[in-house]
Structure 1
Amino acid sequence: MKLYHFLFVLALLVLNISYCQDDSTDALYGSYDLFLESVNKKDTLISTTYKTYKCSENLEGTIYFYYKNDTIKLITHSYKQGRYDNWHIERYYLKNNTLRIKTTSTEIIHYNTQSVQSSQRQSFSAQKVLELVEHRMVFDENSVATCKTRSHGEKLSEWDQAYFNTLPFEEADCVEDQDDILYKYRLLRKAEKKLISDRKNPGCIFHLW
């Protein structure tokens, strides 16, 4: 009987810990999404500064720093890496001056080709389709990461960002190395204080990724 009671209490403890972790993650997501919404609405309580850098013809970017009550809350990093003009966007969300969420959004454009056959000729039409993939790397208070993802594809003419934002996340393998992300994050924080933006001759912060 004592063993049964012990196992019952242990099961409740495990469930309670799991519930608290999920609730904490949901609260973290909620605060992050709410802050992004405030940024998009140009909330006057949020101040912004930015730095630009250029390491080579194939590596350049802009770093935006967002503050509320003089406390940094979000870093948005837009950069081009490689020979092609493909720009990438990643966001770093901070809570109590600690990195808690890192997101990467990837937009993939492709075409659906349709064939239309008439009695006289055959014609083709192409629909532009957008596939958006969002990865979120969530760090706990000990800087240990877990990852989630969501994706959706739709004709570009019918794309609904509000609908995409309601889609749930699913557990996923991390596509980026945790140590690499933390290293990059430290460089971005270093750029916040030390990088001098000069439009004619911007400095470089990333030498090796």
Structure 2
Amino acid sequence: MTFKIRTDADDLYESAYREHLSRFPKRNHTDLWRYFYWDFFHDGQIRDIIFRDGADKLIIEISCPNIRRKTGKNDYEYINIDFLCTFSDLFYFKFIKGADSEDTDRSNSGRFTFLSSEINTLAEHIPAKKDDDFGEYMSMIIEVMPAYGSGDSSFIEFVFGGVSVEAIENTAFQLMLASPDFEVPIYNENE
């Protein structure tokens, strides 16, 4: 596997990554594909990273700044919606700090901006197979930058068995999904 975060905008590279993703069934881990296939959260602020259930569960609170509300025929504004991304059955976790990352505002230490992510490119850390009742393990790498400060990208790597993503204001988000006045850039395999 040659992908360790898509850093190239090259069409050939992006095509190869999409081909990589096509090898995995989309019926399992639906929220993974829906919210991470197109990097739904890019440029969003990661507000918190929490471990629960004896570190078996990883919860990432993140804001999505990429939902557009139409304000006129060709005009729109961006709307921020906060989400909780819960990764369960956590098998592996690692934070790799960028070589030159520097947090210049210690009161905001630990906050990051989501840049991009990769699905299933940590093959060396994914166990062969889970219990048939639960399906396969999946992996994720999230590239982040310090929200306040400067320096190189850092990376959050993890392997998990399940994922769910829910808007903190879920009713408002469901109304946005149903309304033609909002463009919500989630992945839909049928589109």
Fold conserved between structures, TM > 0.5: no
Q: How high is the TM-score relative to the length of structure 2?
A: 0.24
**Which has the higher relative contact order, 1 or 2, with Cα contacts under 8 A spaced 6 or more apart?**
2
Structure with larger Rg: 1
The structure whose residues are more often helix, as a share, is 1
Q: How high is the TM-score relative to the length of structure 1?
A: 0.23
